[in-house]
């Protein structure tokens, strides 16, 4: 009988051991002893793998043979692992599926990275690309009932150095971006160290090994889900087959919605002439027969399943393959602007989905762990849900990590997160010799085919900062990888996607002569605040571009995360400048750069918890100002000057001080909530321009209390309506003096046009007229507004509900006279859930009120946090998992968390 495809993952009976260099022939190690006890000192002998997929550091830690590299200084104690060769083996059974001819295929979905593969003593593969799936076709007559797979992993770092010796040393990043030899090996570049991650040269079977037997199989299906400009939908399904085609009688294609209802189904007869590839169906849909997929915030994430089956004339199924798709149209719009902005004219860089131009607000994703096999599907979903709940609609997968597993993109489809996917090149001069190009082309083809059906896919990008680095260095004469970015990759994307997914040759990239810093064209990475020229963050509004795909300010994680890596550290290490804190901060020149920004804005402290709070507040203020300033540039068509903002970075790969908006344990920093508010459907913003008594004062927003005094402050207020309908609102302004009982309120009726920002008001800031510290007689031109906090709210004119709020404080914060806000909290517990409702109020303004609980139990989840509070504006938040625990709070002026006055209901 014509055999049906049989497929199984080889998950069990894997063993591993360290290669013994004294044994000349590696296959002689196969019969070595298996370690059954807990001999932790010996590296000899085969040990059973904890699981498969498997990574060697994880196996060593599970056996107690190395310490956890994420704790203390342990990273240095495990460097030997990456310079060692490692062996894996397993035994699997094989049952023939037919007496007739058929194919047996071994599929290796992810080998990290340089590996020779043997089956029953014969070498069947030699691989050197972590990003490819490798196939080995096996002669079934050579297989036994019991068969042995043997994998010999060689040192990736030593392999890369050997390639460098052959081909020459090139430039790649800086000293904190890993050894330059990394460019010669197709392995995750962050494994060599980055400015937020450790140096951990991983190896192992990081994705499944699959054994398939078939006479015929579906190699691939290409689902071309098209949406025309008039939003009519169509679907074409192409199939590619392998094996003996003669027994195929028909193809069956079924389209189902998310509730398993059949939308369309069709049987297509082969008429005795099956082909290795063909279009099997081409369907045009009536209006409302299928529904569009929308990014989050713009509509529903309608998903459909395409099921393709090949059958014989008796209806026996030979093979089936399914893909989940969505109907959407995505375009990258680069068109001339109607009028110049502060940067000049130029072109837009924005995304249009289903005919709607959308401001992209999101973040840059790095791998969520150095040990990829430890990232569970639940952990991926938790991370991406955190981004979605933070009002983000785009995530950029950075080019020094990996192409993530299917679960990542599936989850983005479900949550409505658009994906900007870099190809895996970052900050280096990559080679372009023939064998390298061939491997990269296969890598690109495999991953484009794997990802193209996802409606979340919005952009493929050639590399991260390779063009920019070459311009910065100025001494690189040869740039061979231009062939990859401008020939190989765009041709792969164009030929393998339909509708064609946009391609961008590098990030950043834009102006003439690769001018990667041109703010009028393409995208920019804006690092002149933290690094580069080290401008103050109050200049972010002058440092944007058409699309800001990277920028950021780092901060320390919370004390709970710091305590994790400090573990049993001596008391002398518990300060911001200790050796152990430095071990967990990889940012270049971080001491000097932190000192500049921190000393400009906050009082100097030697207390670690206070320093932690201040770094998080600084990150929140800096990134928040950037988001609101650049979203303010999203105007009407022809004036959409900034099309998106992606902060560096979403996440961490280990516990560390970094630019992440939530740390390794998914604990959001203050900046996460600030971004969430700035990316809400409705947002309001304030800029205070201080007029000084001397024209040569330094940055805007700053008040000087020496020879410089301010004459007045101009208040500019704007709003953003992210919905697709006009919105009426009441703008309420509340001015409160920190040094007296003076306050002032005023309201204005406004109408916000759809899908854009609008300027609302420009006024002189009201000022207190009677204060003990008012300027003396003769200095009446000096203003007292330097102690005034301004609160803005957008209110629903019908029910008074708050649509958006924002407060602007005088700066720098080190000069602000903080007063006790008299913080009060009421907690109302729900009887049938773990969710509590909390109301928070103050009698005087409070800056960045961070709520938490004491101890090291599971963290509660807050619907909002890091709150700016104004008198008379009670804020209501939900918290899940409080479970009766007392709430602690910290805020500017009381940075060490303590209990607060609260009442339970």
Enumerate the active-site residues. 465
Question: How far, in Å, CA of 295 to CA of 621, rounded?
Answer: 27
* Rg, the chain, Cα only: 30
* Tokens 């109302």 -> residue: 828
Question: How far, in Å, CA of 524 to CA of 401, rounded?
Answer: 20
The set of residues, in sequence order, having a beta carbon less than 8 Å from that of 65 and lying 6+ positions away, is 40, 43
Q: Classify each residue of 475-489 as buried b or exposed e, where b means 16 or more C-beta atoms within 10 Å of its C-beta.
A: eeeeeebbebbeebb
CB 5 within 8 A of CB 212: yes
Whole-Å CA distances, 874 to 673, 737, 825, 843, 880: 17, 19, 10, 10, 20
Question: How far, in Å, CA of 182 to CA of 434, rounded?
Answer: 18
Whole-Å CA distances, 548 to 145, 364, 780, 878: 58, 11, 43, 32
Instruction: For residue 697, give the 3-state DSSP assignment.
Output: coil
* Tokens 């962050």 -> residue: 190
Question: How far, in Å, CA of 346 to CA of 68, rounded?
Answer: 51
Hey, what are 295's tokens?
Answer: 């990014």
Question: How far, in Å, CA of 273 to CA of 861, rounded?
Answer: 59
The three-point CA angle 287-289-292 to 5° equals: 80
Hey, what are 298's tokens?
Answer: 């713009």
Question: How far, in Å, CA of 362 to CA of 418, rounded?
Answer: 9
Whole-Å CA distances, 829 to 429, 636, 832, 853, 900: 58, 45, 9, 16, 17
What region does 800 belong to: left with phi over 0, alpha with psi -120 to 50, or beta? Answer: left
Which is it for the CA torsion 757, 763, 769, 772, positive or negative?
positive
CB 111 within 8 A of CB 140: no
Closest residue by Cα to residue 865 from 632, 620, 696, 622: 620
The set of residues, in sequence order, having a beta carbon less than 8 Å from that of 681 and lying 6+ positions away, is 297, 721, 722, 723
Hey, what are 611's tokens?
Answer: 């320093």
Question: How far, in Å, CA of 484 to CA of 432, rounded?
Answer: 7
The set of residues, in sequence order, having a beta carbon less than 8 Å from that of 401 and lying 6+ positions away, is 188, 189, 190, 365, 366, 367, 424
Task: Considering only the C-alpha atoms of the chain, give the largest distance between any 2 of them, rounded to a whole number of Å.
Answer: 107
Q: How many CA atoms lie within 13 A of 690 on its CB side?
A: 28
Whole-Å CA distances, 839 to 74, 847, 864, 905: 44, 16, 11, 11
């Amino acid at each position: 009988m014509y055999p049906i495809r049989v497929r199984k993952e080889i998950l069990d009976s894997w063993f591993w051991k360290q290669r013994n260099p004294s044994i000349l022939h590696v296959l002689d190690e196969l019969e070595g002893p298996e370690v059954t006890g807990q001999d932790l000192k010996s590296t000899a002998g085969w040990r059973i793998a904890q699981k498969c997929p498997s990574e060697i550091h994880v196996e060593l830690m599970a056996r107690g043979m190395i310490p956890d590299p994420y704790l203390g200084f342990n990273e240095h104690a495990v460097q030997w692992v990456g310079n060692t060769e490692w062996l894996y083996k397993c035994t699997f059974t094989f049952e023939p599926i037919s007496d007739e001819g058929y194919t047996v295929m071994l599929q290796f979905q992810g080998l990290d990275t340089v590996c020779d593969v043997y089956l029953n003593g014969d070498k069947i593969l030699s691989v050197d690309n972590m990003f490819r799936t490798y196939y080995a076709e096996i002669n079934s007559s050579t297989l036994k009932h019991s068969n042995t797979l043997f994998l010999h992993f060689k040192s990736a770092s030593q392999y890369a150095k050997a390639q460098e010796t052959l081909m020459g040393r090139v430039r790649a990043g800086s000293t904190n971006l890993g050894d330059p030899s990394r460019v010669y090996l197709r392995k995750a570049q962050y494994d060599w160290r980055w400015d937020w991650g450790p140096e951990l040269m991983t190896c192992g079977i990081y994705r499944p090994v699959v054994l398939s037997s078939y006479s015929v199989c579906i190699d691939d299906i290409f689902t071309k889900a098209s949406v025309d400009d008039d939003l009519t939908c169509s679907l074409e399904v192409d199939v590619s087959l392998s094996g003996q085609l003669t027994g195929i009688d028909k193809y069956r294609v079924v389209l189902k919605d998310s509730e398993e209802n059949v939308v369309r189904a069709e049987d297509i007869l082969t008429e005795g002439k099956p082909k290795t590839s063909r279009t099997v169906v081409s369907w045009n849909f009536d209006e409302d027969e299928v529904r569009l997929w929308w990014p989050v915030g713009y509509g529903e994430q309608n998903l459909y399943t395409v099921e393709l089956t090949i059958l014989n004339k008796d209806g026996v199924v030979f093979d089936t393959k399914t893909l989940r798709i969505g109907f959407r149209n995505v375009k990258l719009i680069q068109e001339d602007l109607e009028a110049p902005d502060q940067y000049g004219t130029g072109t837009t860089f924005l995304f249009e989905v289903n005919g709607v131009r959308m401001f992209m607000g999101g973040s840059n994703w790095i791998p969520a762990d150095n040990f990829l096999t430890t990232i569970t599907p639940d952990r991926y979903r938790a991370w991406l849900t955190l981004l979605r709940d933070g009002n983000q609609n785009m995530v950029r997968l950075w080019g020094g990590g990996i192409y993530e597993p299917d679960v990542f993109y599936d989850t983005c489809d479900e949550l409505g997160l658009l994906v900007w996917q870099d190809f895996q090149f970052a900050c280096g001069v990559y080679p372009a010799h023939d064998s390298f190009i061939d491997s990269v082309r296969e890598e690109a083809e495999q991953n484009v085919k794997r990802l193209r059906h996802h409606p979340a896919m919005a952009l493929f990008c050639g590399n991260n900062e390779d063009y920019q680095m070459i311009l910065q260095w100025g001494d690189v004469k040869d740039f061979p990888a231009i062939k990859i970015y401008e020939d190989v990759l765009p041709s792969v994307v164009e030929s393998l996607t339909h509708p064609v997914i946009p391609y961008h040759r590098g990030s950043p990239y834009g102006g003439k002569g690769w001018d990667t810093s041109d703010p009028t064209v393409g995208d920019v990475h804006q690092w002149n605040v933290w690094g580069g020229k080290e401008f103050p963050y109050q200049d972010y509004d002058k440092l944007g571009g058409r699309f800001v795909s990277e920028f950021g300010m780092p901060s320390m994680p919370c004390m709970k995360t710091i305590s994790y890596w400090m573990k049993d550290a001596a008391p002398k290490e518990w300060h911001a400048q200790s050796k152990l804190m430095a071990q967990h901060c990889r940012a270049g020149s971080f001491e000097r750069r932190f000192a500049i920004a921190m000393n400009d804005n906050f009082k100097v402290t030697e207390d670690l918890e206070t320093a932690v709070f201040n770094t998080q507040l600084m990150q929140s203020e800096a990134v928040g100002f950037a988001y609101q300033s650049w979203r303010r540039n999203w105007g009407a068509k022809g004036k959409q000057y900034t099309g998106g903002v992606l902060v560096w970075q979403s996440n961490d790969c280990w516990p560390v001080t970094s630019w992440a908006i939530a740390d390794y344990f998914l604990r959001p920093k203050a900046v996460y909530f600030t971004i969430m508010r700035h990316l809400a459907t409705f947002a309001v913003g304030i800029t205070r321009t201080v007029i000084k008594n001397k024209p040569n004062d330094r940055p805007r927003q700053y008040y000087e209390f020496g020879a410089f005094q301010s004459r007045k402050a101009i208040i500019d207020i704007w709003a953003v309506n992210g919905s697709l309908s006009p919105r009426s609102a009441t703008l309420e302004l509340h001015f409160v003096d920190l040094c007296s009982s003076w306050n002032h309120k005023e309201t204005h009726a406004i109408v916000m046009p759809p899908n854009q920002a609008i300027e609302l008001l420009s006024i002189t800031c009201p000022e207190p007229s009677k204060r003990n510290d008012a300027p003396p007689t003769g200095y009446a031109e000096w203003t007292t507004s330097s102690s005034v906090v301004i609160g803005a709210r957008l209110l629903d004119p019908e029910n008074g509900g708050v649509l958006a709020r924002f407060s602007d404080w005088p700066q720098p914060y080190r000069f602000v006279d903080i007063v006790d806000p008299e913080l009060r909290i009421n907690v109302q517990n729900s009887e049938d859930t773990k969710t509590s409702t909390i109301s928070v109020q103050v009698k005087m303004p409070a800056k960045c009120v961070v709520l938490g609980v004491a101890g090291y139990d599971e963290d509660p989840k807050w619907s909002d946090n890091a709150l700016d509070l104004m008198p008379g504006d009670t804020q209501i938040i939900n918290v899940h998992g409080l479970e009766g625990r007392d709430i602690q709070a910290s805020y500017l002026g009381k940075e060490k968390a303590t209990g607060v006055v609260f009442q339970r209901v």
